[in-house]
A and B are shown apart, each in its own frame.
Chain A
């Protein structure tokens, strides 16, 4: 017996759909719709926080940055013309804010930097050193992650932003170019340099 099956084609979200949805959300926020504002934050807060964390390397800094970024978004909503996606526009704000904050943070950290021995003498051992109780595999993963973070932290901010946006956030070259306000060729060369530097750093550690 032949069985007829009806397959309902699923609706694929296309670029114009996403753009019009973004545009509608932005318009609602601009008109003072608080629910729309809350939705904009909840939809993007994870993305903003994680990018901030990967760019700055500090959870508290990333949380503060997230708040600054969304306030900045609400202050400049009128400037969003829909020429890029809302996501790319937000990425751009995050990178700019992180760049400003990172410069300030680096200066502050240099000024407050103390020798590890002095710190240990004053405050005892660092918390990570008590992780001997963890299983070997977890410990090894944490070690690798620590090395990656350290190597990432040593990269110039421009290269770090490019590699984070590509490898972790999965943006295309064009989206990265829009987010950073540079040409696609610049993205390509910065990414190649960042990968080379990062691999060399990880090989030596």
Chain B
């Protein structure tokens, strides 16, 4: 409270009487109000009335605590403990509930990761089937025909009979087929050698080189190799020491034969 004017009216001063009775005015203001009350009987009566009201209230106030308060501490403490336990149980229960979904989520993530890893490894390290139009597929086809080549031939000599023979192309399981195998001395590797030579010429670090971009000598050599391969593939089967009657290609779906 700011300083009270000594000349204030009783009515203005009475707004501060309540705080004066409570001793809540600043020191200087307390003195000024006290001086006023010493000379103003009406304001002094008002201050006394405020004090009496306080006395009546204190007189009427209960100073006794009921018997129920005797067990209050134990009751409250045990109830607080129960609430805390309940709260802990609820927290635990919620946590377990959350963990359940967390485990499901983690399981799903693990399964997805394992699947992705497996597919990635399969794509990275697994066999990659070449495209039918790729150079590798072309070379592979030239090296290994898509089937089993069989021959009906008669070895040259006296009293030899025509026999169905199996041309070994590297993939055939001749033992399981029940057919005879072409003797090694009659096997020619000429076409394979040519194909491999052509592969070396037309590829550079795994990339197919355009014939028009080759050096003239290399180009001529590649063209000669291709001509030779075509000639061998299209020429009738001629094998030294054998009189070939029939050459056939057995595929998984059927048999094609060519009569000689």
Residue ranges of A at the interface with B (Cβ–Cβ < 8 Å): 34, 37-38, 41-42, 45-46, 49-50, 53-54, 59, 63, 66-67, 70-71, 74-75, 141, 144-145, 148-149, 152, 163-164, 166-168, 172-173, 188, 191-192, 195, 198-199, 202
Cβ contacts under 8 Å, B57 to chain A: 148, 152, 163-164, 167-168
Q: Is A71 a contact of B66 with CB atoms below 8 Å?
A: no
Cβ contacts under 8 Å, A75 to chain B: 80, 83
Task: Please list the 9 inter-chain residue pairs (A to B) with the smallest Cβ-Cβ separation, ordered nearest first.
Answer: A41-B73, A145-B60, A148-B60, A74-B80, A192-B18, A70-B76, A167-B57, A167-B54, A168-B61
Is B98 part of the contact surface with A, judged by Cβ < 8 Å? no
Name the distance in Å between B18's Cβ and chain A's nearest Cβ.
4
From A34, A45, A50, A66, give the contact of B81 (CB < 8 A).
A34
Is B77 part of the contact surface with A, judged by Cβ < 8 Å? yes
Across the two chains, which residue of chain A brings its CB closest to B63? A50
Is B72 part of the contact surface with A, judged by Cβ < 8 Å? yes
Cβ contacts under 8 Å, A173 to chain B: 19, 22, 24
Known: A49-B66, A144-B60, A163-B57. A172 touches B75 (CB 8 A): no
Cβ contacts under 8 Å, B54 to chain A: 167
Residue ranges of B at the interface with A (Cβ–Cβ < 8 Å): 15, 18-19, 22, 24, 49-50, 53-54, 56-63, 65-66, 68-69, 72-77, 79-81, 83
Across the two chains, which residue of chain B brings its CB closest to A50? B62
A46 CA to B62 CA, complexed, in Å = 10
Given contacts A45-B72, A144-B59, 20 further A-B contacts (CB under 8 A): A37-B80, A45-B69, A46-B69, A49-B65, A49-B66, A54-B62, A67-B72, A67-B79, A70-B72, A70-B76, A70-B80, A71-B79, A75-B83, A144-B56, A144-B60, A168-B61, A188-B24, A195-B50, A198-B53, A199-B53
Q: Is A45 a contact of B56 with CB atoms below 8 Å?
A: no
Q: Is B24 a contact of A172 with CB atoms below 8 Å?
A: yes
Known: A38-B77, A74-B76. A202 touches B53 (CB 8 A): yes
Name the distance in Å between B206's Cβ and chain A's nearest Cβ.
71
Q: Is A45 a contact of B65 with CB atoms below 8 Å?
A: yes
Name the distance in Å between A18's Cβ and chain B's nearest Cβ.
21
